[in-house]
Amino acid sequence: MDNPDSNPEGFTAASLIPRAKDLTGRVLICHGVLDGTVVPQHSLSFVQECIGEGIPVEWFPYPLDEHNMRGKARVHLYEKITDYFEQFL
């Protein structure tokens, strides 16, 4: 997708921010802070929109991880997802 300056239409079409208002349940977002593909600003913008729409959202950062978590971070991520499913689904 390159970047928003070179592909504004692609970024607009792919953005989930306008869809936040359509959510009916809780949202868990886990993000590798060092992710160069999906930068933290992307998920934080979505979190802000959820806050504005009154959507329950949890945002969990992985401070030393990139796009794909590995090692202990991946185990932690899977445990977090499993716990979230068991608690809210």
Tens of each residue's pLDDT in the chain, 89 residues = 777 789 999 989 999 999 999 999 999 999 999 998 888 999 999 999 999 999 999 999 999 999 999 999 999 999 999 999 999 98
Of residues 15, 46, 49, the one with CA closest to residue 29: 46
- Predicted pLDDT of residue 46: 97
**Residue ranges of the domains in the chain?**
27-88
The pTM for the full model equals 0.85
Phi/psi of residue 27, each to 5°? -130, 135
- Predicted pLDDT of residue 21: 96
b/e code 73-86 from CB counts within 10 Å (16+ = b): beeebeeeeeebee
